[in-house]
Amino acid sequence: MPELPEVETMRRQLTPIVGSEILEVCRPRSRLRPIGMRPAFVHLRKILRNSRVAEITRLGKRIVLWTEKGSCSWALVIEPRMTGCVTLSLPPDDAHTRLVLRLNNEAYPVVYFWDSRGLGQLQLLNREDYSELAQSLGPDALEVSADYLRQRLGRSGRPIKLALMDQQVLAGIGNLYASEILLAAKIHPASRCRNLSDAHWRALVRAIGQVLQRAIEAQGSTLADETYRNPRGQPGTFQFQHYVYQKDGHKCRRCNKAVIMRIRLGGRSTFFCPVCQPIV
């Protein structure tokens, strides 16, 4: 967390700041270990001050603020990782506020990056370096095709769930949505990629689109730790539509027969229904 639906929600709700000038860049004082930042804050601040927010995009699970100053263009790439969020409202506390952008926007004068665990990353990249980062990732999960996945993974012996979470294969899916997607596609998370049929790949792509779009409409998932909020400070609601994620021990809502089970794959908890998702 956050994954593609949460970051896409951030992107959409941050669009009102496009066209604003960044008047000041602040890093609040904190006793906490600082988050990863490149370049160093003093250089990042110098570049961003008095620049204009030209566009806001998403790169997989990263939010990107494109800025312009004169003839120069820079991408402020924010990777929330486990507990980060970009917000236009006051964050939950000051101690975990990692970066503040002050704008000349009357409606939204401040942008905050807040991260309780401090695992997030900030990078300020020129267009060449941004292109290199983008090329290191697979296609966006909302744009992937069955043919691409079959050609990319069809000979792999990896469990399909781990392959879905590999950002070099496709960008945007993490542990939560991989579990929900695989239930929707009726594929066991430990099934080897090479064992999947053409029908499986088609079902998987349909499930990716359906689950992610529904989650975006619900503005993402806010879990028990309540760290995720959209930029207006409101929780997402897709957690109320989860079928398997953290539902182990509960009866499956799809088949109403089996109990959701938990296993570990690649060191991560994985949830599935043994009836709806037979292994292949």
Catalytic residue numbers read 2-3, 61, 268
Closest CA to 141 of 58, 83, 230: 58
Determine contact, residues 179/159, Cβ cutoff 8 Å. no
How is residue 69 written in tokens?
């100053």
C-alpha span between 90 and 37 (Å, rounded): 22
Q: Go through 67-89 and write b for each residue having 16 or more CB atoms within 10 A of its CB, e for each that does not.
A: bebeeebbbbbbbbbebbbbbbe
Residue 210 to residue 100: CA distance in whole angstroms = 35
**H or E element in which residue 38 lies:** strand 36-38
> How far is Cα 105 from Cα 83, in angstroms, rounded to an integer?
27
